[in-house]
Amino acid sequence: MVTNFDLTEEQQAVRDTVRRFARERIAPIAAERDRTGEFPRETIQELAEMGILGIGFPEEDGGSGGDTLSYILAVEELSRVDGSHGITLAAHCSLGVWPIHAFGTPEQKARYMPKLCSGEYLSSFGLTEPDAGSDAGGTRTTAVLDGDEWVLNGAKQFITNASYSGVLVITAKTERTASGSRGISAFLVETDAPGFELGKKEDKLGLRASDTRALSFQDCRIPKDALLGELHRGFPLFMKTLDGGRISIAALALGIGQSALDAAVPYSMQRRQFGQPICEFEMIQSHLAEMQTEITAARHLTYHAARLKDAGRRHTLESAMAKYYAATVTMKATTLAIQILGGYGYTKDYPVERYFRDAKLCEIGEGTSEIQKIVIARELVKLYA
Amino acid sequence: MKIAVCVKQVPSSEARVQLAADGKSVALADAEMVVNPYDEFAVEEALRIKEARGGGEVIVVSVGPESAQAEVRKCLAMGADRGIVVQDPALLGGDGLSTARILAAVLAELQPDLVLCGKLTIDVESDLVAVGLAELLGLPHAALVTHIEWTGERTLRARREIEGGREVVELGLPALISVEKGINEPRYASLKGIMAAKRKPIEVARPDLPAERVGPGAAGVRVVAVAPPPERTGGRKFAGEAEVIVSQVVELLRSEAKVL
């Protein structure tokens, strides 16, 4: 907004186009969809027609082109108006499409990438299980080879976009005797596979218009060539996937944090108490100054992580820092926005309570803040080793 | 078919503009700049005509500062084929007729089959350029058009919104049409469009026009003062029985506000 962040003309064009779309098409429905929890199929379809569901993937794979930073700007701008749209795009691109793009065989890419990038269907990533959240090594879903087919058994939890996906990337234990994170493989499961079932739709605190469901596999049979990446080597695959995914959750947080400022600053200029606008009171100034500084710092961290990924450089540390920090400051910014709006902020007549509820997910999804700190500390120790 | 669309860079309608120190202009400073919304309808209509015919060329023409190339680029991202800009400071700063003369010089060389313009630009709202341009080029002109129907390869019927009704006029190409809101809903640029726009050419044209015809010195109309709208005063509240209040309000609307 104030700083230019050295975006290229193309990145600015993507940001401006998505910003305008979000203002004109999403803003009018955001509050209502938060209330009803209805998935915004129409606007996601419009984004698909604009090529946004294939952003960051090369045209030869069926993608729309553009770099990671352009994609991050798109997630941020959607989230600035509605976090549910932001997370839908983030989960689709980073968690669903990216592993297929990065680890798929030419056949797998040809089969799925064009459909995913054109928005014919969405995709999801099934890692979390009822008993395996932060501890991905605790995966209990199993895959056993039976002739030409893998047979899957188990359950997944909190899977974003599941109802609208045509194909899922899931993890399953393929080597029973291996312990911890070893012996896990990744698979591509088409949602019409026999034995696959969608579970209940979660009734969530925030991001209520995004689709989050449990999944189950009961003797679910998928072809032998549905293995994604190397057998038993799924753990590094999804760790790399999450490295990218975390940048997009940082962008989700940034968008929500910016929306808190967008609401709080004009309100503080217009609301008068004791004969003056409240933005002239030092304690309100303190809140606004912290919000602006911290959101700007989070934006620098997030764009930096995206640029490292674009340069093909390692970004585990940077994406974990971006996600951890952006989530933390956004939770704080949305809390302060409610504080600045006072009683009005606590009601559904103003949008800040929605931002506050939506922000909380950023501290939990795709690795909790606690997990991010573990990643950051481990990477840090490596730097000094 | 060669379609030329005239577009202008204008401040967004949401931009906060301030009176400049000279009292005759507004300071745009950091205002967000956009394609004039009516010109965007014209670009969209041109693209639809090209798409329906399965071919042709859409050329965006703009007169303005160098920064206006960004708005031309936005039109290219929507799907226009190329741009022509006139950005010579010596030519800028005139009135609407001056702008029309510059555009006429560019279009005379371009020889388009159809020229599309917005009905006005939301910054100065002089409503002069389209009609001036049609006159200078000697083209048949329909203004405030909300629908175009092709009756032949080079003939069309244009529906115009007029006071209290609609008028349908028939024109043959070449022609100039200025469009009104409602003619279409402009598309959002696609990602592929944004990428492709980078590679589309924008030519800087330097029409040879004498100083007495264009620019500030040639302006027939000069802005001598600009003022913000008067501050809104507080409303008046009426309390009591509805029947009583209604007649009070009606009376005041008649005697004080004089709107009835």
Which chain B residues are within 8 Å of A20, Cβ to Cβ?
188
Among the options A77, A318, A363, A366, which is catalytic? A366
A13/B74 Cβ within 8 A = yes
Q: Chain A partners of B188 at a C-beta cutoff of 8 Å?
A: 17, 20-21, 46, 50
> What span, in angstroms and rounded, lies between the C-alpha atoms of B88 and B206?
7
Residue-wise pLDDT tens digits, A72-84: 999 999 999 999 9
Predicted pLDDT of residue A134: 82
Determine, for residues A13 and B188 on separate chains, whether the beta-carbon distance falls below 8 Å: no
- A282 shares contact with chain B (CB less than 8 Å): no
State whether ipTM is beyond 0.90: no
Q: Are β-strands B33-35 and A272-273 bridged in parallel, bridged antiparallel, or unpaired? A: unpaired
Measured distance CA(B99)–CA(B62) in Å, rounded: 10
pLDDT of residue A3: 55
CB contact under 8 A, B195 and A17: no
Spatial separation of the C-alpha atoms in residues A343 and A216, rounded to whole Å: 43
pLDDT in tens, A179-209: 878 899 999 999 999 999 999 999 999 999 9
Mean of pLDDT values over B55-70 = 95
- Does A265 reach chain B within 8 Å, measured CB to CB? no
CB B144 within 8 A of CB B42: no
pTM of structure: 0.90
pLDDT digits (tens, 9 = 90+) for B121-175: 998 888 889 999 999 999 999 999 999 999 999 999 999 988 889 999 999 999 9
Question: Which residues of A fall within a CB distance of 8 Å from B191?
Answer: 14, 50-52, 54-55, 64-66, 70
Q: What residues pair up with B26 in beta bridges, in sequence order?
A: B19
Known catalytic residue at A366: yes
Query: Does the structure show a pLDDT above 80 at A22?
Result: yes
The CATH number of B2-218 is 3.40.50.620
Is the CB of B202 inside 8 Å of chain A's CB atoms? Answer: no
CB spacing of A50 vs B198 below 8 angstroms: no
Q: Where are the domains of chain B?
A: 2-218
CB of B238 within 8 A of CB of B250?
Answer: no
Cα separation, B72 vs A13, in Å, equals 12
